[in-house]
Amino acid sequence: MATTTADREQWGSRIGFILAAAGSAIGLGNIWRFPFKAGENGGAAFVIVYLVCIALICLPYLFAELALGRNSQKNPVGAIAAIKQGTPWKLVGGLCVLTGVFILSYYGVVAGWAVGYIFKGAVAPGVESGMFFETFIADPARVIPLLGLFMLLTIGVVYGGVEQGIERWAKVLMPILLILMFVVIFRSVTLPGAEAGLSFYLNPDFSKINGTVILEALGQAFFSLSLGMGAMITYGSYLPKRENLLVSGGYVALFDTAIALLSGLMIFPAVFAMGQDPSEGAALVFVVLPEVFDAMPLGGFVGTVFFILLSIAALTSTVSLMEVVVSYFVDETQWSRAASVWIVGGFTFAVGLPSALAQGGSDLFTNQLQLFGQTGFLNIMDFIWGSLSLALGALLLSIFVGWVWGTGNAIDELQQGADGGFQGTLPTVWAAFLKYVCPIVIAVIFGAIATGVI
C-alpha cells in the first residue's frame, strides 16, 4: 500500500533536519566546484556576486521548496499533484525525480574518485599529480568499483530511512567535516607565502565582474544549495508543522555558504603558497592540491584527511539525491523502502557506468560523444542535468509556487511554526521576490545556459 501522510516518517529533531539538509547542500559543489569556479572567475569578485545571489535569489526560492514540501508531506510529484491534480504540472515533479537519478549517476563517479584519493598517499606517494590523476580516472578497474562502493554507502544510509538513516548519520558526519576542515585551513594559512592566496580570495577587484561571472555565480549558488530538483521539497516533507521553516532554511543556507567560503580558505592560500595557478579548473582539487600536500610537512596526513572530508560531504549529498527518487517510489507506488533503495541504487549504478568510462576508459564515451558543445558523457550529463535541468526546474517550481499554488497559501504555510515572526511587510517582500525576481532572473540564466552563453 502506498504510504499515507499519517504513517509517514518525520525528522526526530530540528537540528537533525538542519544537519541533513545542510548535508545535502554541502558537497562536491562546495569543496570542489566553488573554489575552481571562484579561481576561474576572478576570486573575491566572484565570491561577492555569489553571496548576493544566495541572499536575493536562492534564499527566497529555498523557502518556496520547503513550504511546498511540508504542506503536502509528499515527494515532488505527489506535492504538485496534491495542489493541481491531473494537470501537466505533475511533469515538473517527474523532471525532479529524473534529475535526481541522473545527477546521482555522475556525481557518484566523482565522489568515487574522492574515495580513491583517500589512499593515494599510501599507494602512490610522490607520484606526479597530473599523471596520477589521468591514469587513475581512466582506469575502469578502479573507477567502476569505486562508483559501486559509493552507491552501496548511499544505499546503506537511505535504506535506514529518514530518522534512523539520514538524520543519524548527518549528525555524526557533519560535525566531523567541520573539524577536519579547520585542520586543513590551519595548515594552509600557515604556509609561507599564503598571504597572496588570501588576498586573491578576499580583496575584490570589481572590474572582474561581467555577465559570465554573474551567471556562473548564480548557477553555482543553485547547485550548491541543492535547489531546482525537489531535494528541499522532499526534505521539507518530513518536517512537522511546529518547525520554523524560515529559521531552519536560513541555517541551511548559512552553513552551506560558510562551508563554501571555508573551502576557498582551505585551498587558495595553499595554491598560492605552492606557486600554483588558481584558474586550473576542475583539476584544482585532484591535481593541484595533492601536489600541495606532497610538498608540505605532514602532507600525507593532511591529504588523507582532506579526501575523507570530501567523501563525507559527497555522501550526505548523494543521500539526498537518492532520497528524492526513493520517496517518490515509496509514496506513489507499492514498493517498500528497501526495494526502492536497491532498485534505484542498481539502476543509477548502471546509468553511471558510461560516466565512469568517460575520462579515458572508453574512447566512445570520452571523446566521440559530443553534445551542446560538451565533449564526453560525464560533461554532457553534468550540463544537461546539473545545469540545464536545475535551472528549468527552479524556473517552473518558482512559477508553480508563486502563481499556481499562490504566494498566499505559501505564506500561510511559512507562518506555521514561525511564532509570529513572518508578519507585516516581510511576507509581501518575499512574495514579490518569488513571483517576479526569481523567475525573471532564473529565466535569464536558463536562456543563457541553453543558448551556450555559459
Give residues in contact with ligand PFF (CB under 6 A). Answer: 24-25, 27-30, 103, 223-224, 226, 229, 231, 317, 320-321
Q: How near is the Cβ of 317 to ligand PFF at its closest, in Å?
A: 4
Measured from the CB of residue 99, what is the shortest distance to ligand PFF in angstroms?
Answer: 8
- By beta-carbon proximity to ligand PFF, the closer residue of 317 and 407 is 317
Q: CB-wise, 265 or 319, nearer to ligand PFF?
A: 319
Cell of residue 254, nine digits = 548559512
Pick 69 or 360: Cβ nearer ligand PFF: 69
Are the C-beta atoms of residues 438 and 430 closer than 8 Å to each other?
A: no
CB of 284 to ligand PFF, least distance (A): 15
* Nearer CB in complex with ligand PFF: 244/317: 317
Q: Which is nearer to ligand PFF, 369 or 388 (CB)?
A: 388
Q: Which is nearer to ligand PFF, 27 or 354 (CB)?
A: 27
Residue sitting closest to ligand PFF (CB): 29
Residue 186 to residues 106, 179, 202, 269, 302: CA-CA distances in angstroms? 32, 11, 17, 10, 11
Q: Which is nearer to ligand PFF, 303 or 386 (CB)?
A: 386
Minimum distance from residue 310 beta carbon to ligand PFF (Å):
10
Q: Nearest distance from residue 236's CB to ligand PFF, in Å?
A: 13
Q: How many CB atoms lie within 10 A of CB 320?
A: 26
CA distance 180 to 167: 20
Least separation, in Å, of the C-beta of 421 and ligand PFF?
27
Q: In whole angstroms, how far apart are CA 156 and each of 349, 352, 364, 365, 432?
A: 14, 18, 33, 29, 42
CB of 30 or CB of 340, closer to ligand PFF: 30
**Nearest approach, Cβ of residue 438 and ligand PFF (Å):** 17
Please state the separation of Cα 247 from the chain's center in Å: 20
Least spacing, CB of residue 50 vs ligand PFF, in Å: 13
**Shortest distance, CB of residue 378 to ligand PFF, whole angstroms?**
15
For residues 362 and 398, which CB has a smaller minimum distance to ligand PFF in the complex?
Answer: 398
